[in-house]
Chains A and B, each alone.
Chain A
Amino acid sequence: MSNQIHGAQHFDKSKRLEIKFSEDVMQIAQSIISRYPQGKQKSALLPILHLAQAEFGGWLSPETMDYVASILKIKSIEVFEVASFYSMFNLKPMGKCILEICQTSSCWLNGAEDIVKYIEKKLNIKVGETTEDGMFSIKVVECLGSCGTSPMLQCGASYHENLTFAKVDTLIENYKSESKRKSYTDLDYKNTL
């Protein structure tokens, strides 16, 4: 089973990193928690995980999950159960730009498969893989609500719609050259959550 997760069981405890939100991020976290009634702070789990994923390298390491559990005063297993349920949370490191190509009906009707093949060839990796420089990962995903503007792909918070091969060329060049694009944090979670 390729998606078996409990391989993570062999995680090396001695290599644990110290994880902590900076003061301003902690303030955001606290303001998220304050949206829910007293004692219901677990409700903030999804947004806090988004924040943590953006802050700590674009994935949720065991240290990150432990840290989130400690902030929300819940058990680590509760964080793990949730983190592994939702498709937007990564439980392993990913490339800086994750190209998520929609493959459901309308996107397929309009050529998503050819877009996938084109990107695979262009980046010389397959779906599910990351380029050697750690820049790009390719993922196929299910309907992203962009059926009228298909085919499409999502990268970070950006929707790239009505894709053609030429558009794919441009967007990949743009991501490559965008020096200001540091990581997954381009989602601008800090200003949204």
Chain B
Amino acid sequence: MKVTIDGIQIEVPKGTTILQAARMIGPEVAPPAMCYYSSLKTSGGYCRTCIVKVTQGSSANPSPIPKPVASCRTEVMDGMVVENNINAELLEARKGVVEFLLINHPLDCPVCDQAGECKLQDLGYGHGSAATRFEFKRREYEAIDIGDKIKLHMNRCILCYRCVKVAEQITDNRVHGVISRGDSSEISTYIENIIDNDFSGNVIDVCPVGALTDKTFRFKQRVWFTKPVDAHRNCDKCSGKTRVWLKGEEVVRVTARKDQWDEVEEFICNSCRYDYKKTSDWVIEGPSPIHRNSVISQNHYQHLNELKLQALKQQNALGFMPLDKKP
């Protein structure tokens, strides 16, 4: 199936979503996504940041789709033409979505552990306005523990449902979910339950904002003062392939590895995440690929362009070659 996104045509297999097709072309045309997560079934569709304009439905039925569509949940049709970054009206609409996500989000980045690796920060920077038009009191909740190692700051949550889907799809007992409705909706465990199973820590990794944070890492270190390296160990519960965050020789945090779209490559178990905090516990493979625009990469790596090239080559090897790369 051929699909054209921002003037660039690509051939993709049937069943590919617009977002996936755009990612195959590259970051220049890929829409931002706050709730979609490729490894989690039925994720996406909620945040609406990935909306795009379909100016031609398909070759067979060329009429445009009147409303913007969520690219993460819309499959491409043969001959579909999509506009993302080249459509000013769409960018204005996305700016509106970003504003909606921010009006009730606290301005506590200076004290938020997610700062530096927060998707909402990136989104606000790339697609938002500098000033807020929301003059009312923001929603407020108390921060609570929803497990001995997980802190929930509901104030910061953007209700992406990713953590709920992780609990449902990769753990054996979901005890938390979204309760209430409308703008009173919140993430909550059932009454006094806590999230406690071998894979619970993954809810932290999939959270795009600072709503779910690792209590063992809270306030220890600003993420940009740490150095992420890819490492592994033999583990009988998971692949043991992780990202170990170092401060000097000290292991300050262990997370799953993430790809260039900031999605977890392989979910890891709680033992790997919490129990092995010595460098000697790990076989270190080398520096983690971090986007050169990220604050985390500042002053740590020189060869990022090389890494980026490697990633592109990998993609091409998978057969997703951009067919017609116009400027």
Q: Which residues of A contact B (CB under 8 A)?
A: 1, 3-6, 8-11, 13, 62, 65, 75-78, 80-81, 84-85
- Judged by a CB distance under 8 angstroms, whether B41 is at the interface is no
The distance from the CB of B291 to the nearest CB of chain A, in whole angstroms, is: 36
CB-CB contacts below 8 Å: B3-47 with A: none
Contact across chains for B180 and A85 when beta carbons are under 8 A apart: yes
- B141 interface neighbour in A1, A62, A77, A85, Cβ under 8 Å: A1
Give me the 6 closest cross-chain CB pairs, A-B, nearest first. Answer: A77-B190, A84-B179, A81-B177, A6-B188, A76-B190, A84-B180
A1-B190 contact given A78-B177, A80-B177, A81-B179, CB 8 Å threshold: no
A4 to B141, CA, bound (A): 7
Which of A1, A76, A78, A85 is in CB contact (< 8 Å) with B140? A1
| Closest A residue to B188 using CB positions | A6
Residue B139 lies at the interface, judged by CB distance under 8 Å to chain A: yes
Q: Are A5 and B177 in contact (CB under 8 A)?
A: no
6 of the cross-chain contacts (CB-CB < 8 Å) are: A1-B139, A1-B140, A3-B184, A4-B141, A75-B173, A80-B177
In the complex, which residues of chain A have a beta carbon less than 8 angstroms from the beta carbon of B144? Answer: 6, 9
Please tell me if B178 contacts chain A, counting CB pairs below 8 Å: yes
- On whether A77 and B192 interact (CB within 8 A), knowing A1-B141, A9-B144, A84-B180, the answer reads no
Query: Measured between C-beta atoms, what is the minimum distance from B193 to chain A in Å?
Result: 8
Q: What sequence of 0s and 1s flags, for each residue 129-148 of chain B, a beta carbon within 8 Å of any chain A beta carbon?
A: 00000000001110010000
B78 at the interface (CB under 8 A from A): no
Q: Residue on B with the closest CB to A86?
A: B181
Contact of B189 among A4, A77, A78, A85 (CB under 8 A): A77
Would A75 and B175 be within 8 Å (CB), given that A5-B188, A85-B180 are in contact?
yes
Return the chain B residue nearest A84 by Cβ: B179
In the complex, the answer to whether B186 meets A4 with C-beta atoms within 8 Å is yes
Mark each residue of chain B from 163 to 180: 1 if its CB lies under 8 Å from any CB of chain A, else 0: 000000000011111111
Q: Which B residues contact A (CB, under 8 angstroms)?
A: 139-141, 144, 154, 173-181, 184, 186, 188-193
Contact partner of B190 (CB less than 8 A), chosen from A10, A13, A80, A85, is: A80
Interface of B is mostly: loop
A57 CA to B179 CA, complexed, in Å: 22
Q: Do A77 and B140 touch across chains, with their CB atoms under 8 A apart?
A: no
Determine which of A11, A13, A80, A84 lies in contact with B181 in the assembled complex, contact meaning CB atoms within 8 Å: A84
CA distance A75 to B173 in the complex (A): 9
Nearest opposing residue in chain A for B187, CB measure: A6
- Per the bound structure, the CA–CA distance linking A90 and B139 in Å amounts to 22
Nearest A residue (CB) for B154: A6
The interface residues of chain A lying within 8 Å CB-to-CB of B188 are 5-6, 9, 80
- Measured between beta carbons, the chain B residues less than 8 angstroms from A78 are 177
Whether the pair B181, A85 counts as a contact (CB closer than 8 A) is: yes
Determine the distance from Cα of A162 to Cα of B193 in the docked complex, in whole angstroms: 47
User: From residue A143, how far is it (CB to closest CB) to chain B in Å?
Assistant: 16
CB distance A11 to B191 under 8 Å?
A: yes
Give the chain A neighbours of B176 by CB distance below 8 A: 77
Q: A62 CA to B193 CA in the complex, in Å?
A: 11
Q: Is the CB of A10 within 8 A of B192?
A: yes
Contact A9 B189 (CB under 8 A): yes
Q: Chain A's nearest CB lies how many Å from the CB of B121?
A: 24
Q: Are A13 and B192 in contact (CB under 8 A)?
A: yes
Chain A neighbourhood of B192, CB < 8 A: 9-11, 13
Tell me which of A6, A62, A80 has the highest count of chain B C-beta atoms within 10 A of its own C-beta.
A6
Residues of B within 8 A of A81 (CB): 177-179
Complex CA distance for A165 and B21, rounded to whole angstroms? 64
Knowing that A4-B141, A80-B190 touch, tell me 7 more A-B residue pairs with CB under 8 angstroms: A3-B184, A5-B179, A5-B180, A6-B141, A6-B144, A84-B180, A85-B181
Task: Tell me, rounded to whole Å, the shortest Cβ–Cβ distance linking A47 to chain B.
Answer: 19
CB neighbours (8 Å) of A80 from chain B are 177, 179, 188, 190-191
Q: Which residue of B has the minimal Cβ distance to A76?
A: B190
- Expressed in whole angstroms, the minimum distance between the Cβ of A95 and any Cβ of chain B is 22
CB distance from B178 to the nearest CB of A (A): 6
Contact check, A62 vs B191: say whether CB atoms are below 8 A apart.
Answer: yes
Across the interface, which residues of A come within 8 angstroms of B184, CB to CB? Answer: 1, 3-4
